[in-house]
Structure 1
Amino acid sequence: MTARTRRLARLTFANPASAIYLGLVGVAIAVATAVTLFAEDPGFVWVLPALCAFPLFMLVALIHADGQPAAWVFITELVVCVLVQSLALGTIVEASRGRLSPRRAGR
């Protein structure tokens, strides 16, 4: 694993703010899955995980404006959007702490 890959993984997963965000999204997905499996009418339960990834997921969802995508496409897009937003959140937190300088970012 290269230093750049470790840095991206640390910003995405190991940062406290990113870890809390990913945990909340994980709980929302687990609740939506449980309701889908065990409820008679799940309704709009998958709106909650989509709202957790709102800014980026809305742009991705506009691609499918003409129809409803397959479930695996929806879940894949949701996971990718959440990971990108987690990376952005980790970068913002590190930059606000002063640990992300332009000199160190290129390494």
Structure 2
Amino acid sequence: MIARKLFRRAFANPISAAYLGVVGTVTVFEVAAAFIEGPQEFAGLWVLMTTSPTALLFLGVAEAIGGGAGPEGLLFVILAVSAFIQSLALGLLWEVLRSGRENPGRPRHS
């Protein structure tokens, strides 16, 4: 039940789907550019920008704990978790915005 609600809030609404579409498109573009042009210095910058500020927070915490950037696989995990958390936050925002439109003439009781 909880997994179903999380899935709905994180993936199955227009705002979250649009955000994840942008993150996915940027990721595919960056991977394709890396294969076509070879390794680049700023190769993941756009993906990091689409998942910030959450990714920047997690990277800062990982650097403070590990004393360095850490393994490269950790960066991918941080980016994926950041995209999920922000998608979930956008889904919750969508739910809050939609809940006020259900019965506009009746006051809501908490």
For the superposition of Structure 1 and Structure 2, which TM-score range results when normalised by the shorter chain?
A: 0.7 to 0.9
Equivalent position of 1:14 in the other structure: 12
- How many residue pairs align between the two structures? 100
**Structure 1 runs (4+) greater than 6 angstroms displaced:** none
Equivalent position of 2:72 in the other structure: 71
Distance in 2, Cα, partners of 1:32 & 1:87: 24
Q: Secondary structure at the match of 1:14?
A: coil
Equivalent position of 2:24 in the other structure: 26
Identity of aligned residues (%): 30
Residue 88 of structure 1 and its aligned partner are, at CA, apart by: 0.6
Residue 80 of structure 1 and its aligned partner are, at CA, apart by: 0.5
1:35–1:42 Cα contact (<8 Å) kept: no
1:83 matched to 2:84? The reply is: yes
- Single out whichever of 32-41 and 52-61 deviates more from structure 2: 32-41
Decide which structure has the larger Cα Rg and report it. Answer: 2
Structure 1-normalised TM-score? Answer: 0.82
- Single out whichever of 15-24 and 57-66 deviates more from structure 2: 57-66
Distance in 2, Cα, partners of 1:102 & 1:57: 36
Unpaired stretches in structure 1, ≥5 consecutive residues: none
Unpaired stretches in structure 2, ≥5 consecutive residues: 101-107
Structure 2-normalised TM-score? Answer: 0.80
